[in-house]
A and B are shown apart, each in its own frame.
Chain A
Amino acid sequence: MFGQGLLKGLSVTGRRMLGKTECDMYPYRKRVLPPKSRIFLSMRATPDGKALCNACLTCQQGCPDNVIRIEQDPEDRKRAVSFRVNSGRCTFCGICEENCPRHALTFTQDFERATFDKGTLTYALIADGTATGACVIVERTEPEHPASAEGGEDVG
């Protein structure tokens, strides 16, 4: 009979109308993203402001989009004086986090950083040799895992 399919479709929409809502009521209820979500880059640091980074530059050289700018301490090349992230260029690919031999880099799940000014998208993780407020505080000073086992030569 003509119209059967139409009626069936209507019954589907009818059932859905009475069923439960599928929406995320976003600004009223904020979603908690899974811990693996890659949103903004952050760094692990100890409570006394010591970042885990040892300025090996792996992340800066491996980043496809020149997001990371590191300045090494000229006296102690294992210490970063400044570590700046231009997140406006970042593609959230996770290459930097994966390759960091000290597991210093991590991603936060804070996604509410819309801004009217592109300049504010650049933020520092290390400034004047100390970790900034954008870092994630951890208790330990040594990496959890031994240095990444992938081996191979450095990016360059």
Chain B
Amino acid sequence: MIEDHPRVGRLQKDAVTESIVLNMGPQHPSMHGVFHMQLELSGETILAARPVIGYLHRGIEKLAEHRTYAQCMVLVDRLDYISQYCNEWAYCRAIERLARIEVPERAEWLRTMYAELVRVTSHLMWFGSVGLDLGGWTPVIYAFIPRERIFDFFEATTGSRLMPNYLRFGGVKEDVDPAEMEALHAYLAKDLIDALDEFDGLVTGNEIFLSRQRGLAPMTVDQAHAWGVTGPMLRACGSTRDLRIDTPYGVYDRLDWESCTDTRGDALARYSVRMREMRESAKMALQCIERMPAGEVRTKVARVLRPPEGEVYVRHESTRGELGFHIVSDGSPKPYRFRVRSPAFMNVSSLPHLCAGAKISEFFAIFGGIDNVMAEIDR
């Protein structure tokens, strides 16, 4: 008899159930970056969760106070290294608003094109990692094929695949070679759409995927507003807030596109919003290439910029949500205060609410839908 065994017998007699705390990360194979999660578990159910962040804190806000405005662009690239052009653009917009710098027409079109291209690459990266989170290796490898192709364009035109340092106050660094633009146009019009169709065939209709995502971690618009959630996560709850429409910048108001929303608010809705956003972004980039007027790409700005005293806050729709730059200038060549309102930081702070009550295997499915970048959260 099993009860006769001394150890098992004793355990059974005074066994009590109690919750345990599980530390996931910061070095966990399925974590995105160095993110640490303390989960309080009862069996497999998550009772409470506490994210621990800061492992990638590089003090960018402090470092920026010791650099000139142009040198800060290098740091800005390294905030969210998956959507670099969005960061640079938001920062440029803040400085341009503060120092009242005009941007030439063609530069606005170029910026819009790059921002939308980078949105595609960022969402491709997210698509791959969602596959990984749910235990499938194929999507990540497939997603990197179109991503690499777009990166090749970035490298050929801006000089770097990941850290372009391409936008300048009052424009962009240099104009793009028309031949490159032509090749990109051909790629976006056909091959990228084929690849996205392929991904839809691979994952979107997959019954196992659907049953794991449907109804998972639901969130309402009111909750999202209260927790400060923005971007595709917010639009997946039915909100139509999209800063590209609400506070028009660039040439978004001249393009023919629509903001993608979904009303279900669950993990599947977040997935579907991002998948559709990729197509919209590709469409916008195509329109930019077609309609871009010729002209100057850069206004002349002093190499060492001294914006007038004052402060500015600019909100920008980055790939993950509302990216804010709060710059305080004291009239010197270096920013007095350099603050980044990072979208992923706010989105991840909703994680404890989202995963309370879920099963531990669902945790990564929820976490993947947030699309975080630790470099931007920790700064």
Contacts and interface: CB of A to CB of B under 8 A. Distances in A.
The reply to whether A and B meet directly (CB within 8 Å) is yes
Interface of A: 2-6, 8-9, 11-13, 16, 22, 33-34, 36-38, 62, 64, 91-95, 98-99, 107, 149-156
A37 B159 contact: yes
B142 A16 contact: yes
A92 B155 CA distance: 13
Contact of A38 (B75, B159, B202): B159
B165 A153 contact: no
Interface residue tally on B, bucketed by range: 35 or more
Nearest to A64: B71
B145 A151 contact: no
Given A36-B155, A107-B159, A5 B71 contact: no
A91 B201 contact: no
Contact of B303 (A92, A93, A94, A155): A155
Contacts of B160: 37-38, 92, 94
B163 to A, nearest CB: 7
A11 B201 CA distance: 9
7 contacts: A2-B207, A8-B201, A64-B74, A91-B74, A94-B159, A153-B302, A155-B304
A22 B138 CA distance: 14
A71 to B, nearest CB: 23
Contacts of B201: 8-9, 11-12
A22 B145 contact: yes
B214 interface: no
A94 B74 CA distance: 10
A154 B302 CA distance: 9
A151 B304 contact: no
Contacts of A62: 70-71, 303
Nearest to B204: A5
A79 to B, nearest CB: 24
Nearest to A35: B156
Among B142, B160, B198, max chain A CB count under 10 A is at B160
Given A95-B70, A150-B303, A36 B163 contact: no
A8 B301 CA distance: 55
A87 to B, nearest CB: 15
Interface string B200-211: 011111111110
B173 interface: yes
Contacts of A91: 74, 163
B68 interface: yes
